[in-house]
Amino acid sequence: MGANTFNETHQITFYETDVTNTVTPSMLINMIILASEDQTTSLGVGSDVVSQLGIGWVVTQYKIDITRMPQVNETITLTTRATCYNRYFAFREFWVHDEAGNECVHVESIWVTMNYESRKIVTIPEAIIKPFESEQVKMIPRLGRPKRLTDADQVMTKQYGVRYFDIDGNGHVNNSRYFDWLLDALPMSFLTRHDLVSLNIRFENEVQYHHTVTSEAALVTDVTSSITTKHRITMADGEVATEAECRWVPKQTATEPQTD
Amino acid sequence: MGANTFNETHQITFYETDVTNTVTPSMLINMIILASEDQTTSLGVGSDVVSQLGIGWVVTQYKIDITRMPQVNETITLTTRATCYNRYFAFREFWVHDEAGNECVHVESIWVTMNYESRKIVTIPEAIIKPFESEQVKMIPRLGRPKRLTDADQVMTKQYGVRYFDIDGNGHVNNSRYFDWLLDALPMSFLTRHDLVSLNIRFENEVQYHHTVTSEAALVTDVTSSITTKHRITMADGEVATEAECRWVPKQTATEPQTD
């Protein structure tokens, strides 16, 4: 018997989309996290209950596969399942389907429980994982490492200050903000002409309010049909906050965004 | 007979709120704009129809009065009405009510129609205003000017680069972004300890992708019980993009935000 699934519908607003009226990666993450929060709350193990144990759930990696990113005004179905777990890691999946029932997005993610005080990873307490009927396993699936930037890469760089409104209700920089920093390092001409088809992101170290972060990106030129970009976000001391790898295809439709 | 009103409900998501789980001013603006877009579409004069005339609606000023800013998970009702208009200006109001029917927010706004090519204000075409049954008037209400920053003010300053994801489906910087820039110039210790009770903002000149803007803020010390901050956003050449004035009161609840 598999883990129980949870789903809810959501209508895409204009402020969840970009200049091409397509859902932004950061808003995609917000939407799926909303579904998982609603599942945990419905099972009586929401963040209020978890925080009473002095811990919190933290994502360490997302692997996102995109068949078609939804557009403004579409009503989507968000589905999630805490598929399996072991002593330290939980593996959670998400799906986005459109109104016709077609799969638009599949997300695999790895979660840990972190002690608030020590900021150390702790054994996942049985009480907060049991309600999901998640399969207990020796090894959770590996999502692979994003390709790393090297000295040989021609790197595009931008800097960002962490803002007050980047901090969410948990007192941390909202994970979705990293996606904006990562992708904004690419030129607008690239972003409006390509569709993101996959994104693999690992969170290594947490950035804080008032930090200045550097977002570095490079295009990988190889012989495959898809285009790959490699990304890294570092802090002032050079410490790596996040590494990511994206794959892209040229947009099918030749329509340029409105520039009225 | 007054102008017809439009309303819709919306449930507040965590990503529409801040570290205190309160709706952010930028997301408040997004939500009310969503309601006005849904009204214009329902009346057959949505942005697709308006853009066929070579023009677009542009907001020049918002005056926002806040009784209580909604919190995460609340279901609110957004109401809007194109109250009155004259040859060049339309006056639109918005209300946010909570589930108990209490008024949380009232927004007055002034709109113009702008020609896409010339970027000049044009006479509001009868065809796109008529469906709202808006009252034709000589003078629309004046919203007052925000108090101006002066050389005597002790100014806090931050700089922001305009990002790819700041651009919306109309090809412009989304108006809501100005609110993030304006308010982030204030210290976190101030923002978490005060409730915004009013905000008067005038949009003077439009910023563009890749611009760097400067957000300046100063606290007005006077004898009234409320606290006033004055704000200005300028572009690299010193041109003023936005001026705003905010009024604040100390938060009623002494609870500090979670900082786990």
pLDDT values of chain B reduced to their tens digit, one per residue, 260 residues = 578 999 999 999 999 999 999 999 999 999 999 999 999 999 999 989 999 999 999 999 999 999 999 999 999 999 999 999 999 999 999 999 999 999 999 999 999 999 988 989 999 999 999 999 999 999 999 999 999 999 999 999 999 999 999 998 888 899 999 999 999 999 999 999 999 999 999 999 999 998 999 999 999 977 666 799 999 999 999 999 999 999 999 998 655 554 44
- What is the least distance, in Å, from the CA of A35 to any CA of chain B? 10
- Chain A CB contacts of B171 under 8 Å are 19, 257-260
- What is the least distance, in Å, from the CA of B46 to any CA of chain A? 13
Judged by CB atoms closer than 8 Å, whether chains meet at A165 and B180 is answered as yes
Whether residue B60 contacts residue B67, with contact meaning beta carbons closer than 8 Å, is answered with no
- What are the Cα distances from residue A55, in Å, to A32, A123, A127, A241? 21, 10, 13, 21
Out of B14, B183, B186, whose CB is closest to A169?
B14
The segment(s) of chain A belonging to CATH 3.10.129.10 are 1-141, 145-254
pLDDT digit string (tens) for A204-236?
A: 999 999 899 999 999 997 766 679 999 999 999
Question: In chain B, which ranges are continuous DSSP H helix?
Answer: 25-42, 47-51, 126-129, 176-184, 188-191
- Chain B CB contacts of A257 under 8 Å are 169, 171
In whole angstroms, give the CA distance from residue B25 to residue B247: 13
3-state secondary structure of A73: coil
Q: In this model, does residue A143 exceed pLDDT 50?
A: yes
The segment(s) of chain B belonging to CATH 3.10.129.10 are 1-143, 145-260
Decide if B252 touches A, using CB distance below 8 A: no
Out of A26, A164, A257, whose CB is closest to B171?
A257
- Chain B CB contacts of A167 under 8 Å are 18-19, 188
pLDDT digit string (tens) for A6-60?
A: 999 999 999 999 999 999 999 999 999 999 999 999 999 998 999 999 999 999 9
In whole angstroms, give the CA distance from residue A90 to residue A142: 11
Q: What pLDDT does residue A162 have? A: 97
**For an interface test with B, which of A73, A113, A167, A193 has the most B Cβ atoms less than 10 Å from its Cβ?**
A167
Out of B170, B184, B260, whose CB is closest to A165?
B184
Decide if B138 touches A, using CB distance below 8 A: no
In whole angstroms, give the CA distance from residue B191 to residue A167: 12
Decide if B60 touches A, using CB distance below 8 A: no
- What is the least distance, in Å, from the CA of A186 to any CA of chain B? 9
Judged by CB atoms closer than 8 Å, whether chains meet at B171 and A20 is answered as no
CATH of domain B145-260: 3.10.129.10
- Chain A CB contacts of B37 under 8 Å are 14
Judged by CB atoms closer than 8 Å, whether chains meet at B164 and A19 is answered as yes
Nearest to B60 by CA among B150, B134, B121: B121
Q: What pLDDT does residue B137 have? A: 97
Decide if B26 touches A, using CB distance below 8 A: yes
Judged by CB atoms closer than 8 Å, whether chains meet at A26 and B168 is answered as no
**Helix A25-42 with A176-184: angle, nearest 10 deg:** 170
- What is the least distance, in Å, from the CA of B162 to any CA of chain A? 10
**Fold of the domain built from segment(s) B1-143:** Thiol Ester Dehydrase; Chain A (3.10.129)
Judged by CB atoms closer than 8 Å, whether chains meet at A171 and B19 is answered as yes
With cut-offs at 50, 70 and 90, classify the pLDDT of residue A260: very low
Phi and psi at residue B193, to the nearest 5°: -110, 0
Task: Name the CATH superfamily for A1-141.
Answer: Hotdog Thioesterase (3.10.129.10)
CATH of domain A145-254: 3.10.129.10
Q: In this structure, is the dihedral angle defined by the CA atoms of residues B39, B197, B76 and A36, taken in order, positive or negative?
A: positive
Out of B51, B168, B184, whose CB is closest to A164?
B184
Chains A, B: CB pairs < 8 Å = 118
